[in-house]
Each structure stands twice: as structure tokens, then as C-alpha cells.
Amino acid sequence: MSANQEMRPVLDAADVGRALTRISHEIVERTRGGDVVLLGIPTRGVPIANRIGERIADVVGHQIPVGSLDITMYRDDLRLRPARALERTELPPGGVDDAVVVLVDDVLFSGRTIRAALDALGDIGRPRSVQLAVLVDRGHRQLPIRADYVGKNLPTSLRESVRVQLVEIDGVDGVLLGGLDEEGAAE
Amino acid sequence: MKRHLLSAGDLDLDDTLLILDTAAELAAVADRPVKKLPTLRGRTVVNLFFEDSTRTRISFEAAAKRLSADVINFSAKGSSVSKGESLKDTALTLEAMGADAVVIRHSASGAPHRLATSGWIRGSVVNAGDGTHEHPTQALLDAFTMRRHLAGGVGDLAGLDVVIVGDVLHSRVARSNVLLLRTLGAKVTLVAPPTLLPVGVELWPCSVSYDLDSTLPTADVVMMLRVQRERMSAAYFPSAREYSRRYGLDSNRMKLLQPHTIVMHPGPMNRGMEIAADVADSPRSVIVEQVTNGVSVRMAVLYLLLGGSELSDGSAAGTANEGRGL
């Protein structure tokens, strides 16, 4: 908890709201609203995907399919820690075949989570294309992966940790940056 | 999670719910175009079956393959066991081949425990039925099935009234179920002729009745056990016909059940003996679904035992080496 106390806010609730609104408009603009499926990556990608889904629905005037995609079974670091509990995977009724799938996560870091998500996606269907939306891109990629929609580019050092907070999970919206968190709260 | 799964009694409520919740997520894999997850790639699971089995062995094999593990099937028939090779030498052979998990079924109660604690092998041991002792994955899949039908698929089974009928004496399924259902908060009643109840059953965490008809009207679940003739060396009841009359579930008895009550059977069934054919094939029967759920539950067990880092219980690896030194 000591790391938590040292953390300083870099985005407040209003910043988070604006970033998600901008991402939503960019998604509509680039995909022209056709066949978009949002898939949030648990845990914090899911509420973000839901919020983007609502905002897109406000713009285009109809609901768009939103789901969640658990990537636990596809992680490349499973053997480094004891077996983890699984998160929910909920695909929209229409599936993902021939859709433009937008993966949604809170923080883009090493890119390994997204690599796992692409593998998981390949086993459940064949989307027309796959895009990536993240609230925060903190750099330090270890794989050739980039985001199509970024809420905030946040230059960090490897020793820092980034923590995204959302009302649905943490009771408050915000992004915190802290030093010397061994774990790297988000990846 | 522990390193091995030997007894349903070893699982506390958190472990049990973790397995059931994981199984619920893994059940969705069966509906996907690619029924496979890459999680146990490069791990080896040995099915070590000293006793005949259809569904348990196939179920474990399907579960391991859906998780991309390599599966080696071993059955005592046609192996060196028929030449008199001991459990120990068989185990050492498996260890030398690099088995990460051994799923064992044996006619001797306690064989999986011996395998897990003797230090012969380093991998995880999963009990797939030992003698008349335990069959923990069967209890898990039964609990999973009950939870799906009667508890909305989440949480524990608090308050559920489960009646287990038949050959409790020879049943590892009954023992594992009693232990696991107690952990999950269900109320269990065993119904059997006095000759087919084990010594000390009054100390089990359940109630016992000799009269089937009085227990059926309040039951949420009726689980019929197979009359295990191959384990019976003496006369436990006068005739098959009399047993069937008093303890078999037929369509007349089925009328006593509440509308939501489900009928279960671990298989293989003696149709016409403990369960009538029209009951086994009725809409209340979830017997086929039990088999489907078995794969999900066994996937969950294999994932939780093998999917993560080697469990921190370092003493197990230590004893493996000591054992070999002796």
C-alpha cells in the first residue's frame, strides 16, 4: 500500500470521460459504424468497452454488440505464477465472424496481453479486421503491437506503475502514476 | 489449490467454488469452433487405469486434449502389470518418462494416496476412483450439475436436499459426494438396505434411511448408485427383484418427486435394476449431461493443478528425491 500513497493522479474523472468520448468518435469515424463488435479484456477493459459502446450508440443511434474476452488461458506467463481464476468470456450473440472487432483494454504496456487476445480471438472466429483501443499507452512494448485508438499517451519509466481506476470497479474514475511498484500494476 | 486431488474431503469451500467456477467458464469451450485451449501445451498427462472404465478415462482424455496436453493412456490389461509389475515400478517408469500429472484409477483403496506421498513421482496425482474409497472428480461434476440445474449456476448448494440411493457400501461416488456436498452446504440422505451401508456410516456428515419412499417427496436431487456386483462376494440382498422393488427408482416412485427434482446416476447403469429405463430416459434425468459436465470439471482440475507455476509446496519435490535415495 505504500506504493499506492506515492501515486499521483495524471488523469481525473473528466479527462477519462473525454478520452473515452474521443475514442468512441474515432471508432465511428474509422469504421463508419459498420459491423463493429467491442470486446473488453477483463477486468478493466470490460467496463471501458461498455462505456465506449454506450457512447457509440448515442452517435450512431443503435446499440452495438459489446462483449468480454478472457485471455487467461492464452497468457505466456501462466507458469510463472500459480494457476489463476478465469474471468468471464461473453461473446455477443452474433459472434465475431466478419465483424470489425475492437479489443478494449485499460493500459497498453508490453503488448503481451494483446498478443494473447489475438490468439484467443483466432480460436473463436474470424473477424474481418481487429483493432485495439486503450485508455492509456505507457510504452515499453516487447512485441510489435500498436493501438489504433489511444486515450492518453503516458511516457513512463519501467520502474513506474500505472493504475487505472473506474467507477464500476474502484468507485472512482482516474489514472494514477506511481513509482517503484515491483509488480507493475497494469500491463 | 493443493498439489494433488486425492479426496473430495481435501477441498475446502474456496477450492471447490474455484473448481466449479473455472469449469463453468471452460464449459463454453465445447461450443466453440476450435474446441481447444493452448494452456497445457508441452505438459504430459498419464491416464493410469488399473480398472476398467469408459466415461472417466475418456472424459479425462478429452479434458487433457482440450487443454493441449499430451496424453498417454495406460491400462493394466496388455501392460507389464499383467506380468506382475508393481505400482512402484510402474510409477518410476512414468516418472522417467516425464509425466506432469498422473490420473489413477485402481481397485485398491488408497493407491492414489500411496502414489502421491511415496515420492515415486514428482507430478500431480488425480484420483479417478480408488476401490471403494473415493472418486472426487465424480463428486465435483455431480455438484456442478446440481448447481447448474438448482442453484442458477453460481455459489454453493446451501439447503439442497440430496438423496443418494443404493449400494453405498461399495460406492466411492457416495463417499466423495457426501464429503463434497457437506462442504457446499447441502443436506444429504443415504438410502440403502442395512447390508449395503458401510460400518461407521453413522459418523458420516449425513442422515441415513432404509425407506426410499419417505425421502423422495422432499428431495431436490435423487442420485441412484449402481449395484456393484463385481465387488460383491456375499449375498447382500435376497434377490435382484426384491432390491429393485424396494430401492429401485421406477416411474411410480418418480411421481412422488417435486416438479424440479432431478435424477442422477454416475453410470454405468443397470437398467431395470436400480433405475427403470423410462426414468433414465425421462426429462428429469440429467445422466447424459453429467458426462458432458465431467469433461468441463476435469479440464478445470487439470488446469488448476498444472496450469500455473509448480506449486510452492516444495516439500513434495524434496520427498521425491529422498524417496529415490531410500
Q: What is the pLDDT of residue B82?
A: 75
Instruction: Please tell me which of the candidates B1, B33, B37 has its beta carbon nearest to residue A125.
Output: B33
Q: What is the pLDDT of residue B229?
A: 78
Q: Which three cell numbers stand for residue A28?
A: 465511428
Please, are residues B177 and B157 in contact by the beta-carbon 8 Å criterion? no
- Residue A160 pairs in a beta bridge with A179
Q: What is the pLDDT of residue A180?
A: 62
Position B16 confidence tier, pLDDT thresholds 50, 70, 90: very high
Q: What is the rounded CA–CA span in Å between residue A147 and residue A35?
A: 19
Chain A contact for B260 (CB, 8 A cutoff):
no
Chain B contact for A123 (CB, 8 A cutoff):
yes
B42 min Cα distance to partner chain A (Å): 12
What is the amino acid identity at position B307?
G
Q: What is the pLDDT of residue A3?
A: 47
pLDDT score of B320 more than 80: no
Comparing A81 with B206, the larger pLDDT belongs to B206
Position B318 confidence tier, pLDDT thresholds 50, 70, 90: very low
What DSSP character marks residue B274? Answer: T
What one-character-per-residue DSSP string does B97-116 give? TT-SEEEEEESSTTHHHHHH
- Of chain B, the percentage scoring pLDDT greater than 90 comes to 79
What pLDDT digit, counting tens, does each position of B69-119 carry?
A: 999 998 887 777 777 788 999 999 999 989 999 999 999 999 999 999 999
Q: What is the pLDDT of residue A33?
A: 65
A92 min Cα distance to partner chain B (Å): 13
> Which residues of chain B have a CB within 8 Å of the CB of A81?
308-309
Contacts of B96 (CB under 8 A, 6+ apart): none
Answer whether B38 sits within 8 Å of A74, measured CB to CB.
yes
Q: What is the pLDDT of residue B240?
A: 87
Residues in chain A where the model's pLDDT stays below 70: 1-5, 33, 180-187
pLDDT score of B323 more than 60: no
Please, are residues A187 and A107 in contact by the beta-carbon 8 Å criterion? yes
Mean residue pLDDT across chain B: 91
Domain extents in chain A: 12-156
Of these residues, B32, B77, B83, B255, which one is catalytic?
B83
Name the strand (E) or helix (H) holding B202: none
Chain A contact for B233 (CB, 8 A cutoff):
no
Residue B117 annotated to the active site: no
Residue B83 annotated to the active site: yes
Comparing B50 with B321, the larger pLDDT belongs to B50
Instruction: Please tell me which of the candidates A70, A88, A123 has its beta carbon nearest to residue B32.
Output: A123
Predicted structure pTM score:
0.91
**Domains, in order of start, for chain B:** 8-134+291-325 (3.40.50.1370), 136-287 (3.40.50.1370)
Q: What is the rounded CA–CA span in Å between residue B135 and residue B57?
A: 13
Chain B contact for A18 (CB, 8 A cutoff):
no
The pairing of beta strand B70-75 with beta strand B44-49: parallel
Position B234 confidence tier, pLDDT thresholds 50, 70, 90: low
Q: What is the pLDDT of residue A160?
A: 92
pLDDT score of B145 more than 80: yes
Q: What is the pLDDT of residue B228?
A: 86
Of these residues, B44, B56, B90, B132, which one is catalytic?
B56
Determine the topology of domain A12-156 in CATH: Rossmann fold (3.40.50)
Q: What is the pLDDT of residue B315?
A: 36
